[in-house]
Amino acid sequence: MNKAIITVVGKDTVGIIARVCTYLAENNVNILDISQTIIHGYFNMMMMVDMSKVTKNFEQIDTELEEVGKVLGVQIKCQREEIFDRMHRV
Rounded to an integer, what distance in angstroms lies between the CA atom of residue 90 and that of residue 88? Answer: 6
Residues 53-83 have pLDDT tens digits of: 999 999 999 999 999 999 999 999 999 866 6
Rounded to an integer, what distance in angstroms lies between the CA atom of residue 12 and that of residue 16? Answer: 8
pTM of the model: 0.87
pLDDT: is 79 or 88 the higher one? 79
CA distances from 68 to 8, 60, 88 (A): 10, 12, 25
Backbone angles phi, psi at 34, to 5 degrees: -145, 140
Backbone angles phi, psi at 36, to 5 degrees: -145, 140
Query: Domain extents for the chain?
Result: 3-87
Q: Check: CATH 3.30.70.260 for 3-87?
A: yes
Spatial contact of 52 and 1, defined as CB atoms under 8 Å apart:
yes
